[in-house]
Amino acid sequence: MANPKDKAPENVPGPYYNDTSCIDCDQCRELAPQFFKRQDDGGYTYVYRQPITPEEIALAEEALSICPTDTIGNDGASLEPLPTPSHPATDKLHTPSESPDEETQRRVKF
């Protein structure tokens, strides 16, 4: 199991990380190059972009599961996408009791 106290310093903040036990096998980089990158001087892999969508998270989880040294860690990401921020201006476009058609009819009346 990956050690969160031994994370590679290049990992970007977020739930996924590689610790320093990486043996540079290249499996995670082959499977998910959009998240994992090689640190050439040290000869190990780190997470340079966190997955966001459910599909990306599933791919990162697959990379975690195939890692022969259990170097990839996950500090709590779920398969649920992150919530998108609410925009107060668009949240109230329609009142709960008013359908879009009723609103359109109301606006066209002078």
Cα–Cα distance, 109 to 93 (Å, whole number)? 18
Per-residue pLDDT, 76: 83
Per-residue pLDDT, 90: 41
Per-residue pLDDT, 85: 52
Per-residue pLDDT, 48: 97
Per-residue pLDDT, 17: 97
Q: Chunked in runs of 10, what are the mean pLDDT values of the chain (110 residues)?
A: 95 96 96 97 96 96 96 76 48 45 49
Strands (E), the chain: 16-18, 36-39, 44-47, 72-74
Neighbour count for residue 79 (Cβ, 10 Å) = 9
Is the whole model's pTM more than 0.85, yes or no?
Answer: no
Per-residue pLDDT, 86: 54
